[in-house]
C-alpha cells in the first residue's frame, strides 16, 4: 500500500521505556501507536507463557507481529505509525528465553517474513542493566517474563546479547541511549528525526 508516513519501531528490553516513549512520540507526531502483541490478544500472554511449549509460544508471538503489521499498514495510509516492539523483539526474546540462537528463530518464521510491513526506522533503546532491573521491580503491570528477568541475571544478559545481534544485521537500526535523558527529551529527538526522514521519503513516495 502507498504510505503517507514513516513506520517507527521501538525495541528494547522490558523496562527500557518503550511504552512511555511510544506514547510521547505518538503525541508529538499526531499518529497511532500500538504494541506487539496488540490488545486484546495480549491478554493471553500469561497463559501462553505459563502453559505453551516452545513452538506454540513462537507461533503466538508471530501472530501478534503479523497483526501489528496490518495495524501499521492501516495507520500508514493516513500518517506515521509507532510500534512498541515488533518482529525483532519476537526473535530476541524467544531466542534468549529458550536458549536458541537468533538464526534458528529467524529461519522458523521466514515463510511469513514477506507479510510483515517493513519499518523505516527501528530504534534500539539502551539502558543500564541495573536501571532496567529497578524499573522492572517498580512496574505496576509486572509480568511473569519481567519476574524471570529480575531473578535471572544470566537471562537478562543473554537477552541483551540477542538484541545486540539482531540490531547488528538491521539496516534500519538506530541506537538510542536513554540514561540521563527524560522520555520527553527522547521523544523530541526522535520526532525531529522522523520529520527529517518524511521530508525526504514522502515526496518520493508521492511522485
In a domain, 120, yes or no: yes
Helix (H/G/I), strand (E/B), else coil: 148: helix
The CATH number of whichever domain residue 201 belongs to comes to 3.40.50.300
Share of the chain above pLDDT 90, in %: 74
Total domains in the fold of the chain: 1
Question: What is the reported pLDDT for 203?
Answer: 55
In a domain, 20, yes or no: yes
In a domain, 82, yes or no: yes
Set of cell numbers at residue 12? 528494547
In a domain, 2, yes or no: no
In a domain, 150, yes or no: yes
24-38, 48-62, 78-92, 132-146: least confidently modelled range? 132-146
List all residues 6 or more positions away from 147 whose beta carbon is below 8 Å from its beta carbon.
Answer: none
> Has residue 92 got a pLDDT over 70?
yes
> pTM of the entire structure?
0.91
In a domain, 1, yes or no: no
DSSP symbols for 44-59? GHHHHHHH--HHHHHH
Question: What is the reported pLDDT for 38?
Answer: 92
| Whole-number Cα distances in Å, 48 to 52, 96, 107, 119, 156 | 5, 17, 22, 27, 20
pLDDT tens per residue, range 58-84 = 999 999 999 999 999 999 999 999 999
Q: Supply the mean pLDDT for the chain.
A: 92
Question: What is the reported pLDDT for 3?
Answer: 84
Question: What is the reported pLDDT for 204?
Answer: 45
Range of the structural domain that residue 97 is part of: 7-206
> Has residue 138 got a pLDDT over 80?
yes
Amino acid at each position: 500500500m502507498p504510505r503517507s508516513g514513516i513506520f517507527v519501531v521501538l525495541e528494547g528490553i522490558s523496562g527500557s521505556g518503550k511504552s512511555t516513549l511510544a506514547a510521547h512520540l505518538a503525541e508529538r507526531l499526531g499518529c497511532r501507536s500500538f504494541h506487539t502483541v496488540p490488545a486484546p490478544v495480549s491478554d493471553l500472554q500469561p497463559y501462553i507463557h505459563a502453559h505453551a511449549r516452545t513452538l506454540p509460544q513462537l507461533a503466538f508471538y508471530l501472530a501478534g507481529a503479523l497483526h501489528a503489521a496490518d495495524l501499521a499498514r492501516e495507520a500508514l495510509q493516513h500518517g506515521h505509525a509507532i510500534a512498541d516492539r515488533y518482529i525483532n523483539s519476537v526473535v530476541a526474546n524467544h531466542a534468549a528465553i529458550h536458549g536458541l540462537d537468533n538464526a534458528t528463530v529467524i529461519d522458523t518464521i521466514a515463510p511469513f517474513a514477506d507479510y510483515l510491513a517493513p519499518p523505516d526506522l527501528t530504534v534500539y533503546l539502551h539502558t543500564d542493566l541495573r536501571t532496567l532491573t529497578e524499573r522492572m521491580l517498580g512496574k505496576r503491570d509486572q509480568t511473569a517474563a519481567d519476574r524471570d528477568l529480575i531473578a535471572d541475571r544470566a537471562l537478562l544478559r543473554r537477552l541483551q546479547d540477542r538484541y545486540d545481534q539482531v540490531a547488528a544485521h538491521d539496516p534500519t537500526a538506530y541506537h538510542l541511549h536513554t540514561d540521563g535523558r527524560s522520555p520527553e527529551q527522547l521523544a523530541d529527538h526522535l520526532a525531529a528525526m522522523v520529520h527529517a526522514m518524511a521530508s525526504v521519503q514522502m515526496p518520493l513516495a508521492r511522485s
